[in-house]
Structure 1
Amino acid sequence: MPKPINVVAIAASTFTPSRTLVLTQAILAELDNQLPITSHLIEFGSIARQVGGALSRSELSDDIEQQLQRIENADLLLVATPVYRGTYPGQFKHLFDLIDMNALIDTPVLLAATGGSERHALVIDHQLRPLFSFFQALTLPIGVYASEADFSNYQITSEPLQARIQLAVERAVPLFAARPSALLKTA
């Protein structure tokens, strides 16, 4: 039996309830439908204050250090962020300031974002891809963007969004099917 893919998902919203969390959970569910995975979900709101107060990694608690190590050891990262004023939140960026700059080399990253309107949809290509390019990660070709109009009472109600989630995951599957052992990190 093949080793399950270690998926680490980060829902970067600091608010509850959160459309970003709902989107993250929907993508994780679709990944689970199409690939053999184990997943770990980091709800950023639960660690944001500690991360934001640390100037270096040595100042973090053991629990936060474990979360960073999970990110660094993922076979696949799912990163979903809300968009505020045209970009991701500064605390979310600070989380990645604390990640070892060589830890994500060749790690596939599925990018997702939520915003108030469609005018923020380019955040995936203009903000998130460059961030993960710095880390030499492999950003997957299809990102998932959702606006407020795609949700009702914090549930996805948009069929085009559901189709986009499915397509993004379908495009990720061959990456793991073609060479699973080469992509799976050994801990």
Structure 2
Amino acid sequence: MVAEIVGLSGSISRPSRTRALVEIAVGRPAERYGRRPVVLELGDMASSLGAAARLRDLDAPALAAVERMLGADALVLASPVYKGGYAGLFKHLLDLLDPLALVGKPVLLAATGGGARHALVIEHQLRPLLGFFEAQTLATGIYACDADFRDGGIASERLLDRLDRAVGQFAPFLGDALVRSRDEAEIGVWSA
């Protein structure tokens, strides 16, 4: 099995600011820790997910996406903010998971919204939700609003700095591949 960092964009919109955030939030740690970046979109699972009462009710592609999430070395979970909370279909997906499915898994929490007033959705809703699953949520959450984007991409250096701080918090769980590789090269150790 290939080591992966999987991100879930909890938006059903296309194009999506949540997707843009997830792409960069998965890409940076994947590069740093030597993992394959994978981005999944809730919209790709929406029709199957909306009709599912149990995980086994999902169609094959949706079930494969969930299994990929569960098998990942680390996760980035991001939801757009609707009416002051995370997306309903995003929550429904998590409702289908076994309560022990995410125990100990490192998770970077992220959200997008129209303005800064929704930034606490990470602390007041997403973090307690993942606490139920006993996931290891990173201390730094990433919230991005309209002002952080330009032409569909992230334009805020402040946001990118915060993201880099969060990426560093994966180190206890994933090891620091760049530092390890450099140290091994200095002492002449080869690793596969």
Report the Cα distance in structure 2 between the residues aligned to 1:12 and 1:160, rounded to whole angstroms.
23
- Cα pair 2:22 2:78 within 8 Å, conserved: yes
Moved more, 26-35 or 7-16: 26-35
Q: How does 1:115-154 map to 2 (within 5 A)?
A: 115-154=113-152
Any conservation in 2 of the 1:11–1:80 contact (CA below 8 Å)? yes
Matched to 1:176, the amino acid is: L
1:105-120 correspondence to structure 2 within 5 Å: 105-120=103-118
**2:79 alignment partner in structure 1:** 81
Q: Distance in 2 between matches of 1:31 and 1:118?
A: 25
| Alignment-derived partner of residue 15 in structure 1 | 13
Specify which of 61, 64, 77 is matched with residue 63 of structure 1: 61
Report the Cα distance in structure 2 between the residues aligned to 1:92 and 1:161, rounded to whole angstroms: 23
Taking only the aligned residue pairs, the percentage that are identical comes to 41
Name the count of aligned residue pairs.
176
Could you tell me how far apart the structure 1 residues matched to 2:91 and 2:115 are? 22
Task: Give, in whole Å, the separation in 1 of the partners of 2:112 and 2:11.
Answer: 9
2:24 is matched with which residue: 23, 26, 36? Answer: 26
Runs of 4+ in structure 1 deviating by more than 3 angstroms, as ranges, are none
Q: CA deviation at 1:174?
A: 3.5
Which residue is equivalent to 1:41? 39
What whole-Å deviation, never above 9, does each CA across 1:104-149 have from its counterpart, x for those lacking one? Answer: 1101111011000000000111010111111111101111110000
Contact 1:5–1:76 (CA under 8 A) maintained in structure 2: no
What SS is found at the alignment partner of 2:37? strand
In structure 2, how many angstroms separate the alpha carbons of the residues matched to 1:174 and 1:122?
25
Instruction: Give the gaps of 5 or more residues in structure 2.
Output: 177-192
Q: Is the 8 A contact 2:73 2:174 kept in 1?
A: no
* Deviation sequence 1:60-90 (CA, Å, 0-9, x none): 1122111121122221011011001111111
d(CA) in 1 for partners of 2:10 and 2:103? 21
CA distance in 1, matches of 2:59, 2:78: 24
- Further displaced range: 120-129 or 64-73: 64-73
Which structure has the larger Rg? 2
* Structure 2 counterpart of 1:87, one-letter code: G
